[in-house]
Chain A
Amino acid sequence: MSLIAFLGAIETGLLFGIVALGVFISFRVLDFPDLTVDGSLPMGAATSATLIVAGVNPFLSLLGAIIAGALAGLVTAWLNVRLGILHLLASILTMIALYSVNLRIMGKPNQALLGEETVFTPFEKLIDLPYYWVTPIVLFAVIVVLLILLNLFLSSETGLGMRATGVNGRMAAAQGINTGKMKLVGIALSNAMVALAGALFAQIQGGADITMGVGVIVVGLAAVILGEATFSTRTIILATIGCVIGSILYRVVVAVALNADFIGLQAQDLKLVTAVLVVLAMTLPGARQKWAKRKSVKGAGQ
C-alpha cells in the first residue's frame, strides 16, 4: 500500500471517527439505536455544499450543517419521546424523510464543489506539506477538540444525567432527570456531529451526493464495536478514544483487504466487508470469553 493510500485510509478513518462519536452517543450513551445518521450525514454534506456554492463562508457552512443535523436528530427523538414511536422505527422514518429533504436542499441529486474554497484551503497554505498530509492533520485537530468537548460534557452534571438516562431511565427520573429532554438533546447532538462529518466529507471529496449516506450507521457502529473490542472501555474517556481508534483501524483493515490482490476483493465489496467485519467484531469477544471459560473449567477439573 502506498503512503498516499495509507494516509487516505487514516483520513477517512478520522472523518468517520466523528461519525463514530455520534453513534457512540446514541447507541452507547443513550441506548437509542438511531439510524437517522444515514440521512443526517448527506444532509450535512448537502447543506454545506449548497451554502458554499451560494457564496457562504465554508466555516459558516459547517455551522449550517451542524444545525441541520441537530434538527434531524430532534425530529427522531421527538417522534420517539413525544409520539411514542419505537426508537428504531422513528429513526428509519426520519432517515427516509431526509432523502427527500436532502434532494430539496440541493435541488438535484448532487452538488459539486469544484474549484470552491473549503475549510481546508487556508490550512493548505498554512501547512507546508503536500495536500494528502494536510487533510488528515486538520481532521486530527478537529477530532481532538471534539473528544475534549464531548468528554467535558459527558462528565458534567447534565452529561452524567444523559448517561444515567441510557443506563437506567427509571432511576434517572427518580433523581429528577428529565429523561425525555435528555434523549432529545442527546440524539440532536449525535446527529449534529454526524452532519458535521458529512459537511467535512463533502468538502474533502469535492461535492455532496444524495447516496453518500448509505450504510453510514454500519460504518459508525463498526468503528464503535471495533474500538470496544480492541481498546479499553473502563472510563468514558477511553471509550470515546476507542471509537476513533476503531474507526481508523477499520479503514486501515479495509484498505489492506482491498489492496491485497491475492484476496481478490475489489472496491465494490466494501459494504460486504463492512458487514462481515461488524459481525466478527460483535461475536468474537463473546467467543473468546467462552473459550477462556472452557479452558479454565478444564483446568479446574485436572
Chain B
Amino acid sequence: MIEAKDIQVVFNPGSAIENKALRGMNLQIPESQFVTVIGSNGAGKSTFLNVLAGEIKADAGSVKIDEQDVTNWSTAQRSGLVARVFQDPMAGTCESLTIEENLALASGRGQKRGFSHAVTAERRELFREKISVLGLGLENRLEDKMGLLSGGQRQAVSLVMATLNPMKILLLDEHTAALDPKTAAFVLELTEKLVNEGQLTTMMVTHSMRQALDHGQRTVMLHEGRVVLDVEGDQRKNMKVEDLLHMFEKVRGEEIDDDKLLLS
C-alpha cells in the first residue's frame, strides 16, 4: 500500500520562475494494483513519480509505503522498496558496464553490498534465464557492453533489472516515450507480462491516453499538481479516449490544446 498525502512541491520558491509543481497531491495505491497516470506537460506527473522515488523531496506532505513513513528517506534508502524504469533508456543502465554487470547491480538493489564477486556463475545462470524471456537473443551477449544495445533493448533490460528483486512499488516513468511505436508496443507487452506475473504494485506515467486506458486497472489524471480524475472498475472499462478527453475538459473547464494528449 502506497500512500501519498497532501504532497506539495515548489520549484524555485520566491523567484520569478517559481513553479508549484504539486499542490496537495493525494493518492493511495493498494497492493498489486496497476495504476496509470496521465496529464499534460507540467501537470506534475514526473514530479510526483520522483517524490515517490525519493529524488525530489516534498516540501510538505508525507509518503508512506506499507505504513512506513519514508518522506525523508533518500533514493538509495528507498531502493529496497521502490524499483523504477526511467524515460531515457540511457538513464536506467550503465552503458560502459556489461549487460551482466548491470543485472548484477540490479540484483543488489535493496540489499547490502559486500566484497564477494558480483557476477558469479550461479547469478549468470539466473540472468541468462531472466533475459531469455525477452526473446532478443541477449542471453548470448551477457558480456557485451550495455552501450551496444538499442534504446528498446536497453529499456527491455531495464524492466528485467527493475523486477529482479522484490519491491513494494514499480515506477514506470513514460518508459516507452523514447521508443518507436513497434518497440514501444513490445516493451509495453513485456511490462504487462512482468507486472501480471509478479502481481506488482505499479504506477505507470504516460503521455498517451490510449496507453493509460489499455493498461492497468486504474487511471488517474493530474492537472496543475492535483488529481482531477480517478477512475477504475466498470466506469473505466467502458471509457474511451474521447470520454477521457471530455471529462478532462469538463473537470478543468477549459479546452485541451496539448496535441500530444489528443493525438497519441
Instruction: Indicate if B84 sits at the interface (CB-CB under 8 A).
Output: yes
Residues of B within 8 A of A172 (CB): 94, 105
Residues of B within 8 A of A152 (CB): 115, 117
Looking at the complex, which of B32-40, B74-82, B217-225 is the stretch in contact with chain A? B74-82
Interface 1/0 per residue, B47-89 and A, CB below 8 Å: 0000001010000000000000000001111011011101000
| Nearest-Cβ distance from residue A8 to partner chain B, whole angstroms | 36
Contact A160 B109 (CB under 8 A): no
Distance of A178 Cα from B75 Cα, bound (Å): 9
Contact A168 B93 (CB under 8 A): yes
Instruction: Indicate if A175 sits at the interface (CB-CB under 8 A).
Output: yes
Residues of B within 8 A of A100 (CB): none
| Nearest-Cβ distance from residue B158 to partner chain A, whole angstroms | 9
* Chain B facing A: main interface SS: loop
Interface 1/0 per residue, B95-129 and A, CB below 8 Å: 11100010011101111011111110000000000
Residues of A within 8 A of B152 (CB): none
Interface size on A, residues (CB 8 A): 23
Instruction: Indicate if A191 sits at the interface (CB-CB under 8 A).
Output: no
Contact A174 B117 (CB under 8 A): no
| Nearest-Cβ distance from residue A237 to partner chain B, whole angstroms | 13
* Contact status of A175 and B108, CB under 8 A, knowing A168-B91, A168-B94, A170-B91: yes
* Chain A facing B: main interface SS: helix
* Contact status of A155 and B108, CB under 8 A, knowing A163-B94, A168-B91, A174-B75: no
A160's partner among B53, B84, B97 (CB-CB below 8 A) is B97
Contact A158 B76 (CB under 8 A): no
Interface 1/0 per residue, A149-179 and B, CB below 8 Å: 0001101111111011001101111111111
Instruction: Indicate if B92 sits at the interface (CB-CB under 8 A).
Output: yes
Contact B76 A178 (CB under 8 A): yes
| Nearest-Cβ distance from residue A24 to partner chain B, whole angstroms | 14
* Contact status of A174 and B110, CB under 8 A, knowing A156-B118, A160-B97: no
| Nearest-Cβ distance from residue B187 to partner chain A, whole angstroms | 18
Listed residue (A171, A173, A178) with the most chain B CB atoms within 10 angstroms of its CB = A171
| Nearest-Cβ distance from residue B149 to partner chain A, whole angstroms | 15
Listed residue (B77, B84, B117) with the most chain A CB atoms within 10 angstroms of its CB = B117
Q: Can you name 24 A-B residue pairings with CB atoms under 8 Å?
A: A155-B118, A155-B119, A156-B114, A156-B117, A157-B115, A158-B113, A158-B114, A159-B115, A160-B113, A161-B113, A163-B96, A168-B94, A168-B95, A171-B92, A173-B76, A174-B75, A174-B86, A176-B76, A176-B77, A176-B80, A176-B110, A176-B111, A177-B76, A178-B76
Known: A160-B113, A177-B113, A179-B76. 7 other contacts (CB 8 A): A157-B104, A160-B101, A160-B104, A161-B113, A164-B105, A175-B106, A175-B108
Residues of B within 8 A of A (CB): 53, 55, 74-77, 79-80, 82-84, 86, 91-97, 101, 104-106, 108-111, 113-119
Q: Which 5 A-B pairs have the closest CB atoms?
A: A176-B79, A157-B113, A167-B94, A173-B75, A160-B118
